[in-house]
Structure 1
Amino acid sequence: MHEFRNGTPSGRLPVVWRKSKRSNPNGNCVEVADLPTGEIAMRNSRFPEGPALVYTRAEITAFVLGAKDGEFDDLIV
């Protein structure tokens, strides 16, 4: 099985990227994709060939649940 690492160029990942329907219409958004290994890749849509960050399901779960609980509301302008 292939191992995906942080910093892998996004264009080299065998994935379909998706972004939130709430994304900025100017293209300033974060995109995510499921990796074949079960991990989640994340990239900056302004740099589609730039480096991807790779997270475990547990890491993404902790972040999403924290966001739903309002733990990061102080980051919203």
Structure 2
Amino acid sequence: MPESEQFDNGVPATRLDGVLWRKSRRSNPSGNCVELAGLPTGGIAVRNSRYPSGPALIYTDAEIAAFIQGAKDGEFDDLVTGA
């Protein structure tokens, strides 16, 4: 992927050549996971591991940092079934 190339939300994840997709060690083995990849142009792509060629959402570093901090603070705990 050329370093100058920018991507819009919903880009097919297969267009993000050369990125390293990662998921949490806490992900379950059934494949229902969210995967993230840092982009060489900056920002972070997010995709559903069940659909690796499906759409990827692109976020800035600041957006991901805010989400992660919110998750650490428990702001989304009420969205989890059984929590």
TM above 0.5, one fold? yes
Instruction: Tell me the TM-score range normalised by the shorter chain.
Output: over 0.9
Q: Distance in 2 between matches of 1:22 and 1:49?
A: 23
The ranges of structure 1 where at least 4 consecutive aligned residues each deviate by more than 2 angstroms after the TM superposition are none
Gaps of at least 5 residues in structure 2 are none
Alignment of 1:14-53 (within 5 A): 14=17, 15-53=19-57
The answer as to 2:9 corresponding to 1:3 is: no
Deviation at 1:11, TM superposition (A): 1.2
What is the TM-score normalised by the length of structure 1?
Answer: 0.95
The answer as to 2:79 corresponding to 1:75 is: yes
What is the TM-score normalised by the length of structure 2?
Answer: 0.89
Give the letter aligned to residue 25 of structure 2.
Answer: K
**How many residue pairs align between the two structures?**
77
Deviation at 1:76, TM superposition (A): 1.6
Structure number with greater Rg is 2
Partner of 1:12: 15
Task: Please list the CA deviations of residues 27-65 of structure 1 after superposition, one character each: whole Å capped at 9, or x if unmatched.
Answer: 000000000111000000000000000000010011000
State, as a whole percentage, how many aligned pairs show the same letter.
69
